[in-house]
Structures are given as structure tokens and as C-alpha cells.
Amino acid sequence: MLDIDIARYIKYNKYMNNSDYPRSVTCCFTGHRTDKLPWGLCESDDRCIALKKSLMGSISEKYDLGYRRFICGMAIGCDLYFAEAVIALRAERPDIFLEAAVPCPNQTELWPESQRLRYDELIDQCDAVTLVSKCYTPTCMLERNRYMADSSSAIIACYDGSPGGTMQTLLYARRIGLDATVIELKN
């Protein structure tokens, strides 16, 4: 088993567990991993560049509607794009709060080294990190997705219509009444 320092995932923040960031001003995100993206890890692809621009626009719109807390599941692919966009927007709007919802400490274990380094840099820039499970379990990703939706009143999804975790999260979010913004992925 991989030796993981769980303490690095515990960030205490004065805003957590109080009314500064209630569900009504919280937006979460779901999106595909790189293996489902037509460009894979090639972020210089025009489709990826267009997606990142759309994502930034959707996050800005949510901010303009009063959303201040953004929760990201930190999976490889669209989740990392989301986290980077929120961090970029926070440079202009410092009242943005970014929370990483990490399903388990070894989430990045099988990722390419460049993506693990990127993830570590993003985790360090989050205002809070919620570790959903102390170790990998068959349901920790689902639990992470439910935690994000249950903590939010809106969701942004990058989705191509295919079955999987993004579809399940989006369906659950709609079932519990979240306002959904779907950015369609096209081949």
C-alpha cells in the first residue's frame, strides 16, 4: 500500500462549517477524465482551448449570480481545468473560495508524473481540502460526487452524453434540484 501523508489533505479554514458559504452560494463541478476527452492530454488542441474558455465563462456567470464557493473533485482532466479556471478568476475576484473534494489520498497514484505535480500545485492553492475517505474504496468516488452535490445549489458539467461518473453525478444533482449548466463536449 502506498504511504500517504493524510495530514496534507486537512486544511482548516475559518469559513468551513459556518454560514459564510452556505449551499446557496456554492457551485460544484463534474466532468470527464482525460481518457474520455477526444484530445486526451493534448491541451493545445483547439477543442480543449475552446472548452477551457467556455468553462471560464460559466464560472464567471456563476460568480456574477452570487456564487462564491466552488467545489472541485480534483480528477485528472476537466476537474483540473475547472480548478485552474477558479484560481485564475480568484486573482481578479479575491472573495472566491475553492474547495478540493478529494475522494481518497491515493487518487493520483496511477497518473502521469506531470499530472501529479499539477494536482499537487492546485491542492496547495485551494482554500480548503475535504478528504472523503482515508483510503480507496469502491464507492469513494461516488461519495465524493454526492458530497459535492449535497453541498451545492448549482453544478457545472463538461459532458459528452456518455455513461459514467459524470452522467451519474449530473443526474443526481438534477434529482436533488441543483441548477445545472452543461457544457457539451464535441468530438
pLDDT tens digit sequence for 156-168? 999 999 999 999 9
Residues 119-126 have a mean pLDDT of 94
What average pLDDT does range 14-41 have in this prediction?
82
- Which whole number is the average pLDDT over 64-70? 97
Q: Does some domain include residue 139?
A: yes
- Report yes or no on 102 lying in a domain: yes
pLDDT at 89: 97
Distance CA 67, CA 115 (A): 28
In angstroms, the CA 65 to CA 98 distance is: 17
Average pLDDT over residues 37-42: 93
pLDDT of res. 20: 72
Residue 52 in domain: yes
The C-alpha atoms of residue 79 and residue 65 are separated, in whole angstroms, by 21
pLDDT at 2: 36
pLDDT of residue 61: 98
> Is residue 135 pLDDT above 50, yes or no?
yes
When mean pLDDT is compared across 26-30, 34-38, 79-83, the lowest value belongs to: 34-38
Domain that holds residue 63: 41-152
* Residue 106 belongs to domain with CATH number: 3.40.50.450
User: Total domain count for the chain?
Assistant: 1
The structure's pTM equals 0.90
Is residue 15 very low, low, confident or very high in pLDDT (cuts 50, 70, 90)? Answer: very low
CA distance 173 to 187: 25
Per-residue cell: 179: 441548477
Whether residue 49 lies inside any domain: the answer is: yes
Structural domain contains residue 4: no
pLDDT at residue 51 greater than cutoff 50:
yes
Per-residue pLDDT, 134:
86
Sheet bearing 128-131, strands edge to edge: 128-131, 97-102, 69-72, 26-31, 154-159, 179-184
Judge whether 166 lies within some domain: no
Which grid coordinates are listed for 85? Answer: 479556471
pLDDT at 12: 40
- Tell whether 79 is covered by a domain: yes
Does some domain include residue 28? no
